[in-house]
Amino acid sequence: MTQPDLPTLIRAASAAAEHAYVPYSHYKVGAALVTVSGEIFTGCNVENASFPAAICAERTALVKAVSEGHREFSQLVVVTRDGGAPCGVCRQMLFEFAPELPITLVRLDGAIVLESQLNDLLRYGFGPSSVLPSL
């Protein structure tokens, strides 16, 4: 399977944002996470009256992919009204699997705000190589 192009990923993330459940913040987020085999997993944010119980779009996409057996990722596109970046928890979750993951932040109108890598957004990240082996 080939890797999807950026316009396809932006459309997928934008479509996912339309499913967001955001009665409190009214801040829709959509994510499209691509596996190394080219499969796209999308996610949206789902809020809850108990705020810590909410889940971000990026983690939704990641958990969907991992639950289907995927562990290697090649691209993440995140769409918000202003091109917002993933939160710290999302960055940490993604870092577990793909520290050098290319990330594109896009506004709902399709304008690209930032193209970067996860390890630039989460400097000195804590990942599997940071854990000491058992003695």
CA distance 118 to 75: 10
Q: Which fold has domain 6-125?
A: Cytidine Deaminase; domain 2 (3.40.140)
Write the DSSP assignment of 82-97 as a string of letters.
S-PPPPHHHHHHHHHH
- Contact 75/101 with Cβ under 8 angstroms? yes
Q: How far apart are the first and last CA of the chain?
A: 42
Decide if pLDDT at 134 tops 70: no
Residues near 125 by Cβ (< 8 Å), separated by ≥ 6? 91, 92, 95, 99, 118, 119
Phi, psi values for residue 80, rounded to 5°: -140, 175
Q: Where are the domains of the chain?
A: 6-125
28-43 tens-digit pLDDT:
999 999 999 999 999 9
CA distance to 60, 90, 107, per residue, from 43 (Å)? 5, 12, 16
pLDDT at residue 11 in the model: 97
Q: What is the mean pLDDT of residues 5-27?
A: 97
Distance of CA 130 to the CA centre of its chain: 22
pLDDT of residue 132: 65
Among residues 18, 39, 47, 58, the one annotated as catalytic is 58
**Residue 113 in tokens:** 């705000």
pTM for the structure as a whole: 0.93
* 68 annotated active-site: no
**pLDDT (mean) for 108-118:** 97
Q: Quote the mean pLDDT of the chain.
A: 95
Q: What's the CA gap between 58 and 91, in Å, rounded?
A: 9
